[in-house]
């Protein structure tokens, strides 16, 4: 019993650290062969006993309770059928057909389970439950039990096995484990009690006796275990939906039958043949339906949309109850109030009202059920309206993203929603904002704005193994579009704040540098020149030679001061731009780049000969970005050629490319690339880098022409 053996048998994945109960290969083979032997016996009873079972149903059953075969009328029912002219052969044929369908259906379900999962304890156990149920209800077996005490004893043995297995197996589906552990005690108690009541007390008393009480306890335990697994074991939630929905449909059909019994007089008589056969037929069909749901839950629970089945069941179940209530209110209530002698006019009135109100009622119920199960996924405009209202009242970017994920999770009833924000230069936004706990693999919706990815919206399906349907995806895609714009706006706000802080900081740093250069450099130098000039003036009459030497020193100091002034001025703006212009300054800078190395390095410049007047900030930015880019190419690209293209139209476009090794995927942006992005962002431009290992790099910068 290992995880490997579980994987080999195709069982459902379980939480880590839980042992999986499986059968050893030799026990699995024995279980399969025994099941096949019992199936052949059951098939033989069906074929041999079918004519005898049909003939038996043509006569009233002289016994009571389970001694009568399924679908055989008792003496009272038989008498009513004859008195009302009902066809006994038709009733016998219909019940025989239903019995055949029930037996074959349960046998097939058991065969599929034991064939597909022979090592799975839960699957093998349910296969035997289905087979023993079919064998115990076998028409041939049942017919023989009225003439042979041995057959009746065999039937009791088969039913006692079924009663012993059923409570235990319903507590271990689908993984072969008791969840929670302590439930094994009440389940085992029910199993022993059912086996004892069937084997030694022969089911008696059938109605309202100990057998009924134990079955009710078994039902409560089973429902508790199914709900416990659904709530506490996310990996099995989708499987539990199938079994719980099958049980809910079974109960709903029985409740509707009880409701119809209060409206249709013939169904309100328990001993009436039509009421008996209808109730039994519904029970047989719904029991087979529950077995089918268990089969799907164990084998193929991911292939079908269980949520659609649950949705439709709730909608039409609620509609049925509402229609019955309205009909009974109109016919019964108004009939009593008006003391009508005939119910036909009231019935026609009720039918007309229900026909007119059916479609509005169905739409309203459908909308309510959809909101209950899936939130507002069918109302994308309502979701966007709620999102817009929430975004109007948030203040900070973190609160904005938190509000988006929380609102999306609540409106779509998803277990987990998150927003992952891509890192951006100079940004301090959180990397990820999430809400809830994931219930399965996450679905990613990229956040794109103006062709640029700004992050991703992550959403978890409602349960493991489930997928988001197109309606969910449509709403989430719409939310992603709005979120992209919100994140971009938040980034612009933060970028504006960062730019303001950067401008203030740069201005103050520049003031500090200028003060330092003027106070500590030019100030002392000019003071020294003043003292030297005064000394030279005083020495002219008495020592002309010394005065001449001082004048030479003054001239040298003045030249040094001029150089310092030029250095301070050049630091504020490259002098080449004012002396030569942007194009000539770029050519001069390119000419100064060393061309050393084993290969000849070629740099080309494609630019107009004459440029229109450019804003000073744009001109400096183009020159500095070109300098930084060419420096990176020379130092890191290992390229043999590089090109620059400068074009001026409605905006300035600078494109720089090389045929080097490209930027590695794991490489982080350095100081140079960050400086390029910062200069571009400061002027409201765009910067796109296209690079791949071995394919070179292309940098495209666009700057608006605004002063």
**What is the per-residue pLDDT across 116-160, written as a single tens digit (0 to 9) for each?**
888 888 888 888 888 887 776 666 555 555 556 676 677 778 888
Note the CATH architecture for domain 579-704. 2-Layer Sandwich (3.30)
Distance CA 371, CA 379 (A): 9
Q: Cis ω on the peptide bond leading into residue 205 (within 30° of 0)?
A: yes
Residue 17 has pLDDT above 50, yes or no: no
Q: Say what the pLDDT of residue 383 is.
A: 74
Q: Are 455 and 421 in contact (CB under 8 A)?
A: yes
Partners of residue 698 on adjacent β-strands: 657, 690
Over 60: is that where the pLDDT of 7 sits?
no
- Is the pLDDT at 20 greater than 50? The verdict is no
Tokens 């890191």, residue located: 636
Please say if the pLDDT value at position 18 is more than 50: no
Q: How far apart are CA 648 and CA 652, in angstroms?
A: 5
Residue range 79-90: average pLDDT? 86
Contact 435, 418 (CB under 8 A): yes
- Same topology, domains 380-493 and 504-575? Answer is no
Residue 189 is predicted with a pLDDT of 92
What are the residue ranges spanned by the domains of the chain? 3-236, 380-493, 504-575, 579-704
Best-predicted range by mean pLDDT (222-226, 332-336, 550-554): 222-226
CA 211 to chain centre: 45
**Residues ≥6 apart with Cβ < 8 Å to 567:** 517
HSE at residue 32, side-chain half, CA atoms within 13 A, is 16
pLDDT of 14 reads: 38
Q: Is the peptide bond before 510 cis (omega within 30 degrees of 0)?
A: no
| Contact predicate 475/374, CB 8 Å | no
Cα–Cα distances (Å) from 22 to 67, 176, 505, in that order, read: 38, 7, 71
Question: Does residue 341 have a pLDDT over 50?
Answer: no
Mean pLDDT of the chain: 75
Handedness of CA 408, 412, 416, 417 (dihedral sign): negative
Q: 314-328, 347-361, 397-411, 635-649 — which one is most confidently predicted on average?
A: 635-649
* pLDDT surpassing 60 at residue 246: yes
pLDDT level of residue 16 (50, 70, 90 thresholds): very low
pLDDT at 9 over 50: no
Does the pLDDT value for residue 315 go beyond 50? yes
What separation, in Å, do the N-terminal and C-terminal C-alpha atoms of the chain show?
77
Just give the CATH number of 504-575. 1.20.5.1930
- pLDDT of 403 over the 70 cut: yes
Residues paired with 701 in a beta bridge: 654, 687
318 pLDDT exceeds 50? yes
Higher pLDDT, 325 or 618: 618
Average pLDDT over residues 449-458: 83
Dist CA 374 CA 423 (whole Å): 33
pLDDT at residue 279 tops 60? yes
> What is the model's pLDDT at position 280?
83
42-46, 107-111, 194-198, 356-360 — which is least confidently predicted? 356-360
pLDDT the model gives residue 500:
74
The pLDDT score that the predictor gives to residue 2 is 35
Q: How confident is the model at residue 13 (pLDDT cuts 50, 70, 90)?
A: very low
* Highest-confidence segment of 175-189, 382-396, 447-461, 537-551: 175-189
pLDDT at res. 185: 92
Note whether 430 and 445 are within 8 A (CB): no
pLDDT tens across 280-298, in order? Answer: 888 888 888 888 888 777 7
Would you say residue 4 has pLDDT above 70? no
Cα angle value 579/584/585 (rounded, 5°): 65
Most confident of 314-323, 389-398, 504-513, 544-553: 544-553
Distances (CA, A) of 570 to 363, 577, 615: 76, 10, 18
Positive or negative torsion for Cα 227, 233, 237, 240: negative
Q: Which of 1-15, 210-224, 491-505 has the highest mean pLDDT?
A: 210-224
- Cα distance between residue 697 and residue 281, in whole Å: 76
Looking at residue 305, the DSSP 8-state letter turns out to be -
For residue 405, pLDDT over 50 is answered with yes
Lowest-pLDDT choice from 146-150, 384-388, 573-577? 146-150
User: Among 450, 458, 459, 456, which Cα is nearest to 488's?
Assistant: 450
Q: How far is CA 478 from CA 359, 382, 383, 448, 458, in A?
A: 30, 11, 9, 12, 13
- Return the top range by mean pLDDT from 75-84, 259-268, 321-330: 75-84
Q: With pLDDT > 70 as the criterion, what percentage of the chain qualifies?
A: 72
Superfamily of domain 380-493: GAF domain (3.30.450.40)
């Amino acid at each position: 019993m290992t995880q490997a053996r579980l994987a080999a048998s195709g069982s459902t994945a379980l939480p880590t650290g839980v042992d999986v109960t499986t059968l050893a290969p030799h026990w699995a083979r024995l279980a399969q062969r025994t099941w096949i032997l019992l199936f052949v016996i059951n098939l033989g009873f069906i074929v041999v006993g079918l004519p005898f079972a049909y003939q038996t149903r043509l006569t009233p059953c002289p016994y009571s309770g389970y001694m009568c075969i399924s679908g055989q009328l008792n003496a009272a029912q038989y008498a009513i059928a004859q008195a009302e002219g009902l066809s006994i052969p038709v009733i016998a044929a219909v019940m025989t057909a239903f019995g055949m369908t029930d037996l074959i259906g349960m046998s097939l379900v058991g065969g599929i389970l034991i064939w597909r999962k022979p090592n799975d304890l839960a699957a093998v156990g349910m296969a035997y439950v289905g087979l023993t149920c079919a064998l115990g209800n076998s028409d041939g077996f049942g017919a023989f039990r009225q003439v042979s005490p041995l057959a009746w004893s065999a039937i009791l043995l088969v039913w006692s096995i079924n009663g012993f297995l059923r409570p235990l197996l319903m507590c271990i589906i689908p993984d072969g484990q008791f969840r929670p552990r302590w439930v094994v005690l009440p389940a085992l108690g029910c199993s022993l009690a059912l086996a004892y009541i069937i084997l030694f007390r022969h089911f008696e008393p059938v109605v309202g006796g100990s057998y009924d009480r134990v079955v009710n306890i078994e039902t409560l335990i089973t429902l508790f275990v199914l709900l416990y697994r659904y709530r506490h074991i996310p990996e099995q939630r989708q499987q539990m939906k199938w079994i719980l929905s099958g049980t809910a449909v079974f109960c709903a059909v029985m409740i509707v039958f009880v409701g119809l019994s209060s409206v249709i007089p013939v169904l309100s008589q328990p001993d009436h043949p039509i009421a008996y056969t209808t109730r039994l037929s519904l029970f047989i069909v719904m029991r087979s339906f529950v077995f089918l749901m268990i089969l799907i839950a164990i084998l193929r629970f991911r292939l079908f949309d269980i949520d659609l089945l649950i949705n439709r069941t709730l909608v039409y179940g609620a509609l049925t109850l509402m229609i019955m209530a309205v009909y009974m209110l109109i016919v019964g209530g108004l009939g009593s109030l008006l003391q009508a002698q005939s119910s036909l006019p009231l019935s026609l009135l009720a039918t007309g009202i229900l026909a007119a109100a059916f479609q509005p009622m169905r739409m309203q119920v459908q909308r309510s059920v959809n909101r209950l199960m899936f939130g507002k996924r069918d109302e994308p405009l309502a979701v966007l309206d709620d999102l817009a209202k929430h975004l109007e009242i948030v203040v900070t970017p973190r609160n904005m993203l938190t509000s988006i994920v929380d609102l999306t999770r609540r409106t779509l009833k998803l277990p987990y929603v998150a927003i992952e924000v891509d890192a951006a230069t100079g940004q301090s936004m959180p990397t990820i904002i999430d809400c809830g706990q994931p219930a399965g693999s996450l679905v990613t919706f990229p956040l794109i704005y103006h062709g640029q990815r700004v992050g991703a919206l992550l959403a978890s399906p409602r349960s493991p193994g489930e997928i988001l349907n197109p309606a969910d995806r449509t709403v989430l895609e719409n939310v992603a579009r709005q979120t992209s714009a919100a994140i971009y706006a938040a980034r612009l706000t933060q970028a504006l704040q960062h730019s303001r802080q950067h401008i203030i900081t740069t201005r103050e740093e520049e003031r500090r540098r200028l003060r330092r250069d003027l106070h500590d450099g030019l100030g002392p130098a000019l003071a020294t020149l003043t003292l030297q000039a005064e000394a030279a003036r005083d020495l002219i009459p008495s020592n002309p030679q010394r005065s001449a030497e001082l004048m030479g020193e003054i001239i040298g100091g003045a030249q040094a001061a001029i150089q310092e002034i030029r250095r301070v001025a050049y630091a504020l703006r490259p002098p080449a731009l004012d002396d030569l212009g942007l194009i000539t300054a770029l050519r001069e800078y390119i000419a100064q780049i060393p061309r050393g190395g084993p290969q000849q390095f070629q740099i080309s410049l494609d630019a107009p000969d004459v440029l229109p007047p450019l804003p000073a900030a744009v001109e400096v930015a183009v020159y500095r970005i070109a300098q930084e880019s060419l420096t990176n190419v020379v130092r890191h690209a290992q390229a043999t050629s590089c090109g620059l293209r400068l074009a001026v139209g409605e905006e300035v476009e600078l494109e720089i490319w090389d045929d080097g090794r490209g930027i590695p995927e794991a490489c982080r942006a350095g100081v140079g690339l960050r400086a390029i992005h910062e200069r571009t962002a400061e002027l409201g431009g765009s910067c796109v880098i296209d690079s791949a290992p071995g394919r070179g790099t292309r940098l495209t910068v666009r700057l608006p022409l605004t002063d």
